[in-house]
């Protein structure tokens, strides 16, 4: 009986211990919460993306992410200020952010900055989205190739494609998909404070340091886990774009591309009108190739480019066709009209302003007209060398027999022929040069030559 009671007591003790263990396992706080990670970040890289979204900006983002991964930096902060830009470049940048090896935070700032058009998609794709006070976001409706509104079926196709794209990206980040769709469908735009209230962005931060302070305490969701860090222990590293990006950003500017194109065409024009100069052709070809690269990225109007080329062709024809200046006038008009429609407004790039066009066309037209005048003058001028340069020169007869004899012209003795009877000592004038024989005529008297020179 006693043995049975001991067995029962032992079983109850074991059962109570097991229950206590299970209860403590369920209720005791865990040092590691599932889905959360206290990361040790030693450095965060910041890269500035300003201006129109272009392939150069897409390359810059990839380079910054590669540098952050290579150097063990735990996060990339994109400082964004853009009016929009190329749709293809925007999609490329969104894919880069979604596949980034480290969390990507996008901060629209500083005050006065904007994330318009293509910039909306970059904000939607970020792991952490923040805006500075006095900034705006929105107006992401697509536009046509000419900068105007799309019409009909094309409008529906493009808009629906972009709306589904931004909806998927915003939904994956847990943001307000309805607003992002309205930004594309209705071109709505809101301030930073409104964006935070409507869950368009996550934070309102006055600076990058403020962004890091808030991100470290609240955490950054990255691939299903929340990364937290101590902002005080993080070093902010500014990304240096490098020489290559600076050159590409300089090239992809409508005014720079315009100047390079006209300079290249002018250089080739001078090379064609003065063969052998070499330098204008080399410099012109280099400028033209750089301009063509920039125009492959910029929203260029083919009709405008053809008009500019047509204007230069008209200037070239002025050399060979007597048009009394009409071809030159038409060339100036073609240059001006082509320049006004060369670049389409929108897509994050501005069209050329009228002041730039007027001054550039006027200056280039003056240079080309001067080149045409100099070339025409050189064509009409008497040759300065060779046998043809002998025509018009005067000399003296050394000996003469019948229709042939020897004459001295410019200190040289030449065989000569003449239909007029001549005698040694007579003054003669060269009328033509055939091989090594000069065709001469009797030179007019001195008084007649004086009158000719006065009349001329």
Q: What is the pLDDT of residues 109-132, one digit of tens each?
A: 999 999 999 999 999 999 999 999
153 versus 150: which is more confidently predicted?
153
Cβ atoms 438, 390 nearer than 8 A: yes
What would the mean pLDDT of 438-454 be, rounded to a whole number? 66
pLDDT tens, residue by residue, 172-214: 999 999 999 999 999 999 999 999 999 999 999 999 999 999 9
Q: Is 236 domain-assigned?
A: yes
22 versus 94: which is more confidently predicted?
94
Residue at which a domain ends, from 244, 263, 294 = 244
How high is the pLDDT of residue 391?
A: 82
Query: Positive or negative CA dihedral for 144, 148, 154, 157?
Result: positive
Q: Is 29 domain-assigned?
A: no
Confidence grade of residue 271 (pLDDT, cut at 50, 70, 90)? confident
Distance, in Å, from the CA atom of 155 to the CA atom of 158, rounded to the nearest integer, reads: 5
What is the reported pTM?
0.66
What would the mean pLDDT of 78-87 be, rounded to a whole number? 91
pLDDT tens, residue by residue, 212-228: 999 988 889 898 888 88
DSSP of 255-308 = HHHHHHHHHHHHHHHHHHHSTT--HHHHHHHHHHHHHHHHHHHTTB-HHHHHHH
Residue ranges making up the domain that contains 300: 253-380
How high is the pLDDT of residue 247?
A: 86
Same-domain status, 272 and 303: yes
Indicate which CATH number applies to the domain containing 439. Answer: 2.40.50.140
**Percent of the chain's residues with pLDDT above 70:** 82
Same-domain status, 402 and 274: no
What would the mean pLDDT of 162-169 be, rounded to a whole number? 94
Residue closest to 426 by CA, chosen among 387, 389, 394: 394
Same-domain status, 130 and 103: yes
What would the mean pLDDT of 64-90 be, rounded to a whole number? 92
Q: Which range among 209-223, 273-287, 329-343, 378-392 shows the weakest confidence by mean pLDDT?
A: 378-392
Q: Is 324 domain-assigned?
A: yes
How high is the pLDDT of residue 437?
A: 87
Same-domain status, 276 and 304: yes
Same-domain status, 76 and 224: yes
**Overall number of domains in the chain:** 3
Q: Is 8 domain-assigned?
A: no
Q: Is 375 domain-assigned?
A: yes
Residue at which a domain ends, from 244, 276, 297 = 244
Q: Which range among 18-32, 319-333, 439-453 shows the weakest confidence by mean pLDDT?
A: 18-32
Indicate which CATH number applies to the domain containing 211. Answer: 3.90.226.10
Q: Is 65 domain-assigned?
A: yes
How high is the pLDDT of residue 150?
A: 59
Confidence grade of residue 38 (pLDDT, cut at 50, 70, 90)? low
Residue at which a domain ends, from 362, 380, 398 = 380
Q: Is 328 domain-assigned?
A: yes
How high is the pLDDT of residue 455?
A: 47
Tell whether the model's pLDDT for residue 290 goes beyond 70. Answer: yes
Same-domain status, 327 and 419: no
Same-domain status, 363 and 408: no
Same-domain status, 106 and 209: yes
Same-domain status, 274 and 170: no
How high is the pLDDT of residue 143?
A: 66
Cβ atoms 18, 25 nearer than 8 A: no
Query: Positive or negative CA dihedral for 314, 317, 322, 328?
Result: positive
Same-domain status, 233 and 265: no
Distance, in Å, from the CA atom of 215 to the CA atom of 218, rounded to the nearest integer, reads: 5
Q: Is 10 domain-assigned?
A: no
Cβ atoms 364, 262 nearer than 8 A: yes
Same-domain status, 119 and 183: yes
Tell whether the model's pLDDT for residue 34 goes beyond 60. Answer: no
352 versus 97: which is more confidently predicted?
97
Same-domain status, 164 and 186: yes
Tell whether the model's pLDDT for residue 136 goes beyond 90. Answer: yes
87-98 helix and 55-70 helix, angle to the nearest 10 degrees: 10
């Amino acid at each position: 009986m006693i043995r049975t009671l001991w067995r029962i007591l032992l079983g109850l003790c074991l059962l109570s211990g097991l229950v206590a263990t299970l209860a403590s396992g369920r209720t005791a706080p865990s040092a590691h919460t599932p889905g959360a990670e206290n990361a040790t970040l030693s450095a965060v890289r910041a890269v500035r993306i300003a201006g129109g979204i272009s392939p150069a900006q897409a390359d810059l983002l990839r380079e910054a992410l590669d540098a952050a991964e290579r150097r063990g930096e735990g996060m990339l902060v994109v400082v964004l200020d853009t009016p929009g830009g190329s749709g293809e470049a925007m999609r490329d940048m969104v894919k880069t952010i979604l596949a980034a090896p480290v969390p990507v935070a996008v901060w629209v700032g500083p005050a006065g900055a904007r994330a318009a058009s293509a910039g909306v998609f970059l904000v939607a794709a970020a792991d952490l989205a923040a805006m500075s006070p006095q900034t705006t976001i929105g107006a992401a409706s697509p536009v046509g190739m000419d900068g105007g509104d799309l019409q009909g079926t094309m409008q529906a196709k493009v808009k629906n494609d972009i709306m589904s794209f931004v909806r998927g990206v915003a939904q994956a980040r847990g943001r307000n998909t309805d607003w992002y769709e309205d930004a594309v469908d209705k071109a709505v735009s809101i301030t930073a404070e409104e964006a935070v209230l409507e869950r368009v962005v996550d934070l309102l931060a006055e600076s990058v340091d403020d962004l890091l302070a808030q991100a470290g305490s609240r955490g950054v969701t990255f691939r299903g886990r929340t990364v937290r860090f101590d902002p005080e222990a993080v070093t902010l590293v500014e990304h240096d774009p490098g020489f290559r990006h600076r050159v590409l950003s300089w090239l992809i500017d409508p005014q720079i591309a315009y100047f390079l194109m006209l300079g290249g065409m002018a250089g080739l024009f001078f090379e064609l009108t003065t063969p052998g100069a070499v330098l204008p052709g080399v410099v012109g070809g280099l400028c033209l190739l750089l301009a063509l690269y920039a125009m492959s990225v910029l929203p260029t109007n083919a009709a405008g480019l053809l008009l500019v080329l047509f204007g230069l062709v008209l200037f070239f024809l002025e050399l060979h066709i007597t048009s009394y200046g009409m071809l030159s006038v038409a060339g100036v008009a073609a240059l001006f009209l082509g320049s006004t429609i060369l670049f389409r407004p929108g897509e994050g790039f501005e069209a050329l302003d009228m002041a730039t066009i007027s001054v550039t066309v006027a200056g280039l037209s003056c240079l080309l007209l001067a080149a045409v005048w100099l070339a025409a003058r050189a064509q009409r001028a008497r040759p300065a060398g060779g046998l043809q340069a002998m025509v018009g020169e005067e000399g003296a007869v050394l000996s003469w027999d019948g229709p042939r004899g020897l004459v001295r012209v410019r200190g040289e003795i030449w065989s000569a022929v003449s239909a007029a009877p001549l005698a040694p000592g007579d003054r003669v004038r060269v009328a033509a040069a055939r091989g090594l024989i000069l065709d001469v005529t009797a030179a007019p008297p001195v008084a007649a030559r004086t009158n000719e020179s006065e009349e001329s």
